[in-house]
Amino acid sequence: MSTLKKLQTTGNAINQIKADYTPSRRSLTEFSPPDRNFCRSHTNVCGLRNLGRTCYINSALQCITNIKPLTSLLITSRQNNQMLTPVSIAYTDLILEMLYMNVTSASPVALKEKISELCSRFASFHQQDSYEFLNILIDVLCQDLCPNSAHVDSSADSAIVHGNIKSLIKCLECKKDLSSYEFFTSLPLPIPTSSSVRYKKENGMLTWLRYIFPALTHHVDVSLTMKECFDLLTKPETLSEYGQWYCNECGRLTNAEKKLNLWTLPKILILQLKRFTYDLSNNNKINTFVDYPLENLDLSDYVINPDYDRTTRYNLVAVSVHSGSLSGGHYTAFAQNFDTKRWYHFNDENVRDVSSKNEIITADACILVYIQQALLSSEVD
């Protein structure tokens, strides 16, 4: 998967920054957290200042700042003087300012500078992809906090945002197959195109299916479910023509079938709805409405690991929203305060209560953050 490869190449830059690490001189005492178990008293809601087309940064940060297990672990590590990269330090200091400095807005400028050292694209003040920014930040944080959690046999307690995918490639000529495992910190979900959607009567209910006469699509309110996105993600893919696979058994390039399945799930599940498409001719945004649940997202149908015994159910805690076009869009976020459980809408410095949960479900959603229900019920930090 392209996301996984990006994260692996980023690792070299992260290791270089670790080698050049210089401890921050900023004292934790200036933030005056009430106690080490800070989550018990977290009620402050803080916006983020727009530095100039940096709404993509603010949207991503509001999503993960409200992830209780990750935020708690970062602050504990900072309080214990654990060795952290400058990116992790800048992010943790920003969290502390947002939580304890009694301000209505904070500036992400220090974090932006440190991220730009990893990826120069973010040094400019042009709008960028919020998902790419989030991926780099999450990867740095996880390498600092849980360096071994990417392994398939890693401790479940350390796998906060790490999951594993099983990839199975089968030669269509000799029928031999090869299995491999790849870790992920987020899952990009493909969106079936609206021109291929239709209604079909099945089991007495209307369900959305693909492959229909395009002329019919404008007569219906086209929408999709998360199940359809996951079905497309795990659908077998034929590798042929220019994408053939080299089969060691056959000793040459052959046609093959590739299938992805979930093997282990993270405590925090970050999903990207792949709304943006890029090619040599033009760039497009897919505006199809995807109906994602606020509660009880169940992935049991997609986990094939026979020994996996952890929960497969998730509740939504944050949404990154992109309104407008690729050239002139704007990022905002919906996020649930992990202490009060109240939902807020974050538009840079402006923060407001969400009057109805219906507005959280939007056709402009591009990043969804879910948390395992077991964490919510047990209040595990």
**Residues 101-122: tens digit of each pLDDT:** 889 999 999 999 999 999 998 9
Q: What is the mean pLDDT of residues 270-279?
A: 86
pLDDT of amino acid 15: 44
Residues 6+ apart with CB under 8 A from 358: none
- Provide the residue type at 342 as one letter: R
Question: Where residue 150 falls among pLDDT bands split at 50, 70, 90?
Answer: low
pTM score = 0.82
Between CA 60 and CA 109 the distance in angstroms is 14
Cβ-contact 326, 364 below 8 angstroms: no
Residue bearing the bigger pLDDT, 378 or 233: 233
- Counting residues of the chain whose pLDDT is more than 70, the rounded percentage is 75
Over residues 188-229, the pLDDT tens digits come to 999 987 544 444 334 334 444 434 433 333 334 467 999 999
Between CA 208 and CA 142 the distance in angstroms is 38
Residue bearing the bigger pLDDT, 100 or 187: 187
Mean pLDDT of the chain: 81
C-alpha to C-alpha distances, 154 to 159, 183, 263, 270, 311, nearest whole angstrom: 7, 11, 13, 19, 17
Question: Where residue 376 falls among pLDDT bands split at 50, 70, 90?
Answer: confident
pLDDT of amino acid 22: 37
Whether residue 137 has pLDDT greater than 60: yes
C-alpha to C-alpha distances, 235 to 8, 190, 277, 288, nearest whole angstrom: 25, 11, 20, 20
If you ran DSSP here, which 8-state letter would residue 37 be given? Answer: -
Whether residue 173 has pLDDT greater than 90: yes
- Which tokens belong to 16? 């270089």
pLDDT of amino acid 257: 96
Left, alpha or beta for 91 (phi > 0: left; psi -120 to 50: alpha)?
A: alpha
Question: Residue 183: is it exposed, middle or buried by C-beta count within 10 angstroms (0-12/13-18/19+)?
Answer: buried
pLDDT of amino acid 143: 86
Cβ-contact 144, 85 below 8 angstroms: yes
Q: What is the mean pLDDT of residues 368-380?
A: 81
Query: Which residue's structure tokens are 């100039």?
Result: 52
Q: Which of 48-52, 138-142, 322-326 shows the lowest per-residue confidence on average (mean pLDDT)?
A: 322-326
Domain at 2-378: CATH code: 3.90.70.10
Whether residue 246 has pLDDT greater than 80: yes
Domains of the chain, by residue range, sit at 2-378
pLDDT of amino acid 56: 95
Q: Dihedral of the CA atoms 132, 9, 154, 262 (nearest 10)?
A: 50
pLDDT of amino acid 66: 86
| Among 94, 116, 121, residue whose Cα is nearest residue 24 | 94
Query: Which residue's structure tokens are 């050239």?
Result: 327
- Which tokens belong to 310? 């952890």
Whether residue 171 has pLDDT greater than 60: yes
pLDDT of amino acid 329: 87
Over residues 281-335, the pLDDT tens digits come to 667 788 899 999 999 999 999 999 998 888 899 999 999 999 987 777 899 999 9
Over residues 336-370, the pLDDT tens digits come to 998 899 999 999 999 999 999 999 999 999 999 99
Question: Residue 179: is it exposed, middle or buried by C-beta count within 10 angstroms (0-12/13-18/19+)?
Answer: exposed
Strand, helix or coil at 370? strand
